Structure 1
Amino acid sequence: MLHEWRNVVANPCRGLRERGPLGVSLAVFACVAVIGLHEFQQTAAGAGVVRVLSEVRADQPLWLTLLRTPVSLFVPAVDLPAWGGLPRLFLAFALAELLFGRVRTLAVAYAVTLAGTLGARVMIALGPGRLGVPAEAAHTVDTGASAAIVGLFAYTAVAVRSPLLFLAAVVPTMTGSIAEPNLAGREHVIAVAVAMVLGAVSRGARCQWPLPVSKATDREVTQDGKAVRNRETAHDREVTHDGEAGHDRGTGQGDSRRRRPAGHGCDGRDPQR
């Protein structure tokens, strides 16, 4: 329990306190993009533009699906309210961004969304049955961030080993998808499965390969080592100088004693005279 609290709450809050609003910039961008595209879609001109840029269907060429998938991730589904899913969208992206960074968060969100979209093509090709869906589903518009949201929650829960997060954020969506086995529900199941695999791979790689020491730490260690060596060198120089000075003083005295003639005092006079 304490481990989950530290990984899911304490560490993200510490990262937000250190990085400030920039720590959740991707989450803010995702919410603004969803709101902006939703409002733009309500206009007469915007509906056509959004459709050309983001409409994804299984009956269109694969290259066009790959081209439109990044934009379709931020376009809300037509049959779902855009404002109702914003809290989950922000929380999923913000939590992943604070824990793993923007690049990995965006990569995981795109990967699970694309996996669900490509999985829909496979299920349509299989046809009606236990694993397939009817061919009419190929004309269904497949947009929205729901697969990315549940996928990010699943990835985070597996990567930081948080069963409570998985139970609270992933299980309800999975339950609804299994209870109503439509195309969107099955895409969610595929997205969660892919996210769990990615999270397990990420956790295994982090355990196998320890994080390298930061460059700042390396510089500090190097500077400390140089400082120690410099101090030792200075000390050696002082000892050498002291030894040379003592030797010079001893040598000078010996030379002065050797230069005095035998039987003469310090003033050079003969004491017998």
Structure 2
Amino acid sequence: MKQMTHAGGAREGTLAYARRAAVAEWGALFATVREHVARKRFAAVPLATTATLLILLFSIVQHLPGGERFVTHIGVVRASLPLDVSLLRTPLSLYVPALDLPVWGALAQVFVVFGVAEIVLGKRLTLVVAYVCTLAGTLFARIGVAIGPDHLFGFPSWVGYVRDTGPSAAVVALAVCIAFRCRAWWTGGTVAVVMVVEAVVLPNLAGLEHVVALLFAVLIAVSVEVFGDLWPRVLAGVGAATSVATEARRRTAGAVTP
């Protein structure tokens, strides 16, 4: 009986510790997301809903007759493409899922991570992080192909023809930024470790692009934390100074006019 009590007490203690750790890690985040979703329903995450529908749309279209050619011309990026073409296609390439992976995984990732990011980071910062980190991975692939396989981060020429699309880099970057904003250090650290291990164990273009996206996400998160309210204050000061100057000129003109 004592042994059973001791075992039961140990299990209860472990569950209590796990519960406290989960609350400390995700409690504030969960409360914020629940409040917004309960108040606005799907209207709380219009960006995530739109992104999810775009991925679903591209997935359907690229499996129709002639659809793959159409999707390729508007949203598929390869390192071998001219830079201006890659830059034009990159925003849409984020929503073009891989042909050989189940689309439901991309849909679930984007809806959950983009939705949480939209609530926690705001729509504008969510778009900036998603686009900048996806673009960073795309440019990294181009540089790797350009420097060649003889360098540490170089790639053989055939990598330049690999289809480089999908939301995974943006999802990784947004997850890191959310963790940083909410001080969910264990979550952010776990994402980082998993991405690095993936790049080491399975050294391919996607894994290395995920690490690049992770690094850029950390830079963005730190810069927003340090300088986040700097530019709004500067713009507010400029606006106030402009208003004062305009009012002064108006009064001067009124005083000079007979």
Residue number in structure 1 paired with 2:163: 141
Q: Which position in structure 2 is the counterpart of 1:160?
A: 182
Paired with 1:204 and 1:18, the residues of 2 have a C-alpha distance of 31
Calculate the aligned-residue CA RMSD, in Å. 2.1
C-alpha contact (below 8 Å) 1:159/1:202 kept by paired residues: no
Quote the sequence identity (%): 36
Decide whether aligned partners of structure 1 residues 35 and 157 sit closer, same or farther in structure 2, where only a CA change above 3 A counts.
same
Aligned to 1:99: 120
User: Normalising by the residue count of structure 2, what TM-score does the alignment of the two structures yield?
Assistant: 0.75
Cα distance change, pair 73–153 in 1 and its aligned pair in 2 (3 A): same
Q: Given the alignment of the two structures, is residue 181 of structure 1 paired with residue 216 of structure 2, yes or no?
A: no
Deviation of 1:44 (Å): 1.2
Instruction: Kindly provide the amino acid, as one letter, of the partner of residue 76 in structure 2.
Output: E
1:210 & 1:87 partners in 2: Cα distance? 35
How far, CA to CA, are the matches of 2:231 and 2:147 in structure 1?
Answer: 43
How far off is 1:149 after superposition? 0.7
Q: Displacement, 1:168? A: 4.6
Counterparts in 2 of 1:106 and 1:184: CA distance versus 1, 3 Å: same
**1:68 corresponds to:** 89
User: 4+ runs of 1 displaced by more than 4 Å?
Assistant: 208-212
The answer for unaligned runs of 5 or more in structure 1 is 213-273
Larger radius of gyration, structure 1 or 2? 1
What is the distance in 1 between the residues matched to 2:179 and 2:167?
18
Equivalence for 1:40: 61
**Are the structure 2 counterparts of residues 36 and 131 from structure 1 closer, same or farther at C-alpha, using a change threshold of 3 Å?**
same
Task: Name the SS of the counterpart of 2:155 in structure 1.
Answer: coil
The answer (yes or no) to whether the contact 2:176–2:214 under 8 Å persists in 1 is yes
SS in 2 for 1:84: helix
Distance 1:210 1:16, change over 3 A: farther
Candidates 65, 69, 74, aligned match of 1:53: 74
Cα deviation, residue 58, structure 1: 0.8
Alpha-carbon separation, structure 2, partners of 1:108 and 1:193: 11
Alignment gaps of 5+ in structure 2: 1-20, 234-258
What CA deviation, in whole Å up to 9, does each residue of 1:44-76 have, x standing for no partner?
121111111011111111110010011110000
* Preserved contact between residue 160 and residue 203 of structure 1 (Cα < 8 Å): no
Distance verdict in 2 for CA 1:168–1:17, change over 3 Å: farther
Aligned to 2:39: 18
TM-score (norm 1): 0.72
- Cα 1:202–1:4 change in 2 (3 A) is farther
What SS does the aligned partner of 1:83 have? helix
Tell me how far apart the structure 2 counterparts of residues 74 and 170 of structure 1 sit (CA, whole Å): 23
What is the aligned counterpart of 2:220 among 198, 202, 211? 198
